[in-house]
Amino acid sequence: MQTLQTTSLRVRDNRLWILDQQALPQQKAWLDASSVEALVAHIHALRVRGAPLIGLSASLLLALLAENGMAKAALAQALDVLRAARPTAVNLMNNLDRMKLALAQEDYVAALSAEALRLVAEDKILCDNIARAGSERVAPGSRILTHCNTGGLATAGVGTALGVIAHAFQEGKIEQVWVDETRPLLQGGRLTAWELGELGIPYRLICDSMAATLMAQKQVDAVWVGADRIAANGDVANKIGTYSLAVLAHFHQIPFYVAAPHTTLDPHCPDGSAIPIEQRAAAEITGVAGSFGQVQWAPENAQVWNPAFDVTPAALISGWVLDTGVVTPEEVAAGRFQPH
C-alpha cells in the first residue's frame, strides 16, 4: 500500500502506525498497530479513538494484512474480531461492511486496499463538507462550548464539530472556545485543548461541572459536539456528559448542534434505547493514568458505574450537521431521521 499520513494514522512499509492519544499532549508517540491484537488493544485503551478514526484504522489494517499474505478465511475472522472492538461507534461497522464486500471479490487483495484508501479519502471530504455546512450556523463573535475531542485526531480530515469550529474561526466568527475537560479520560483537556492550541484558536479549559454556570452567565452562544452513533429517529450517542450539556443548553435556550458524517447514521437502530453502551474499567474513575503515571484516589474497593457514552434525545438537538447537509428538528419531527 502507498505511504499514507493523517494526524493520527500512518502507513509506512506496509505497516500501520497510530498516534498514541493516551500520551498526548506530553508525548507525541507513534505505536505499531500492524496486528489485529495490537489494534484491538489500542482501541480498548483509547490510544486510538474517535468513531471515524476507529473505522478507518480497522479498514487499513485489513488491507495491509491482505497485502502481507493473510489468507481470505483468516481475513474474514480478523474482520469479525475488529468489528467487535468498539460496540457503540457505528462507523466501525459501516466501514467494515464495505471491506467485507471487497473481501468477497475475486482479487480481494487489491479490492481491500482500494476500498481502505477510498474510505480515508472520503472521510477527508466528509469532514470538509461538515465544516462548511456547520460554519454557516455559527454567528459572528461566537463563544462555542464543545465536549470530548472531534478534531483531526479523531478523523482523517479536519474533524467534525472541531472542524466546524476551525472553519468558522478562519472566517472570523469565533471569539473563544470553552473546552470541557471531559471526564473521566479528559479527552477535552488533553486532546481538544492541544488541537485548538495547534490551530491558534483561543480557548479556555473548564471542568465539566462548570458548564451550567457559564450558560447562566450568558457566556455560551452555542454547543457543538460530535457523535458515535445516530439512531433512525435522531437520538445521538456520544461521549458521556453530552446529554447533560444538551439538557443545560435546552434550559438556557442555547443552540445545541451535532456534527457527524453520514457514516455515523444507523438506520437499523430505531432510537437511542437500542444503542449499545460500552461499560469501561473502574480504574478510569477511581484514579487517573497517563504518560505521567498512575494515581489512585478512591478506596481500593470502591464500586463504580462507568458508561463510556450517553444518549441525547432528538428533542434536545437544534440541528444535525452532516456532510450531506443540515437536518432540522422540523424534518425529524415530521418522520424518521432522513439525511439529505
Annotated catalytic residues are: 228
Euclidean distance between CA atoms 207 and 96, whole angstroms:
36
Q: CA-CA distance, 50 to 149, in Å (whole number)? A: 8
Q: Which of 180, 154, 150, 190 is nearest to 288 (CA)?
A: 190
The answer to whether residues 55 and 116 touch, using CB atoms and an 8 Å cutoff, is no
Alpha carbon distances (Å) from 261 to 108, 125, 294: 27, 10, 35
The Cα–Cα gap between 251 and 223 comes to 13
Closest CA to 319 of 245, 212, 236: 236
d(CA 213, CA 209): 8
Radius of gyration of the chain (CA): 19
